[in-house]
Structure formats: C-alpha cells, structure tokens
Amino acid sequence: MLLAIDIGNTNITVGVWNNHAWQQHWRLETNHGRTADEYGVLFNALLHAAGLTTAIDGVVIASVVPVLTSTFTQISETYLGQQPLIITAQLDMGLTMCVDAPEAVGADRLVNAVAAYHLFRGPAIIIDMGTATKLDVVSARQEFLGGVIAPGLGLAADALVRRAAKLSHVALEAPPSVIGRNTTQAMQSGLIFGYVSLIEGLVARLQAEHPDRHQPVRILGTGGLIGLMTPHTAVIDYVDPWLTLTGLRVIYDRVRRGQRKESDEA
C-alpha cells in the first residue's frame, strides 16, 4: 500500500492507497518543532489503529515546509523501512512547466495540477484554500500555466483581529445575511462573502485569460477551508478535500513505471 503525505504550513494530510481506493485519510496539525521520533510514534499509532502497520510498501511526500521534509524522510526510512519519493519540479510528472522558475513553485500546486488533469483530461482551474488561497491553471495540453496566490482566509481573520484593537476572533461561518447586524456578523460577512467574491472574481479573470477559454474549463476546489465557500458559490464544479493525495498517487505510479521500464531495458 502507498502512504501519501502532503505537508502544508497549517495541516499535514495523509492517505493510504490500497491499489484500488483510499483506505484511510488523516488531517494533522503542522508542528514545526515536533521531532521525527514524535511524528514517528504518532504515525505508528495511526497505522496500528487502522491495522496497516506492516502494509505500507511505498511512500510519497509533497512538502512546502523544508524542515519537515527531512523529518518525514527520516520517519519513512526509520519507522516504515521505505525510501520516500519527494516531489520536486525536476520529476517527470507529465506536466509541461510554462512558468519562469519551475523550481520555485510549491510542490502542492504541481501535485494539484496533476490530479486535476488526471481526473478530467482537460483544462482546469484549481482553487486550494489552506494557509494561502491559491488558484492554479492547467491547459488542455497538460501544461502548468501558473496562477494566483492570496492570503488564506485564516490569515486574513487573524490579521484583522491583531491590527484592530476593538475586534475579537469570530467563528469562520457565514452570517444570516451579507448585511451584518452586529460586529461579529459584519466580520463574518467580510471574511466569508469577501472570500467568495475574491474566488468568483479571480476565476472569471483566469477564465478570460485561459488559452482554452473557448471550451469548458473545469473549476476544482480543495483544501481544508474549501467547505466554507461551496455553500455560497456556484462557480466550483468539483470539490475534493483530498485532491492533493490523488495527485501524489498519480505521480508515484508514473515515476515507478518509468523506473521499472529503465530497469527492464538495462
């Protein structure tokens, strides 16, 4: 079975693929200070509870937190006995990179692009709502064209409270109406409906610039906060909170097939 790990700045998403379907998902809090041994004990406990302790025979990792990339490489080698595949722009992912500096693009953005093309075999815009809100563009020719990065919803909420002395933290949920009847509702409206408008506006602009705009462009939503948006907009065609794990699986299979082919030809 394949263990897929996506290390983000706020959350770490983990999935176990049994060659036919995702058997297990977990979402963990990212803790930069936790050691490899601490994470290793946690992973062993999760796998043991799911009855998967000895079932893992492959590991693939995407990370935007360099210090944790080495931590999870150590976990994979020490606790699982597996050399992990680390996602970088240099891997053959099937994508043509049409950006100025491919090596500077976050691994999660590339993996999401792979997943989107794998699912729909056509042009797409991926909305990923996590620590940052990212919108990435894929062409009908399997090209990664770049995209947009904006502050995440949680970051915006935190900044609002930190910089405004009379404002307090509010629950990230939609108020009864756009017109807030009190300070809490007004803040919730600005955050939730403000980000709905941000997404809808950026999607419209990206569609207008998309090289395949004369054919249907799929709009995919993912990330830990995407569920806050979907009840309030019709712009998103397909939602999968675990989209990045699908991309990791697809890349892992592609790289391993290439390695087996090279071995057979040697």
- Split at pLDDT 50, 70, 90, the class of 44 is confident
Instruction: Render pLDDT for 131-178 as a digit per residue (tens, 0 to 9).
Output: 999 999 999 999 999 999 999 999 999 999 998 878 889 999 999 999
Is 237 annotated in the active site?
Answer: no
Query: Cβ(15)–Cβ(245) under 8 Å?
Result: yes
User: Residue 29: exposed, middle, or buried by beta-carbon count in 10 A (0-12, 13-18, 19+)?
Assistant: exposed
Domains belonging to the chain, first-starting first, are: 2-86 (3.30.420.40), 108-248 (3.30.420.40)
Query: DSSP 3-state assignment of 186?
Result: helix
Calpha distance 115→110 (Å, rounded): 9
Examine the pLDDT at 221 and tell me if it is beyond 80.
yes
Mention every residue, 6+ apart, whose C-beta is less than 8 A from residue 168. 161
Examine the pLDDT at 258 and tell me if it is beyond 90.
no
Could you say which of 37, 92, 100, 108 is catalytic?
A: 108
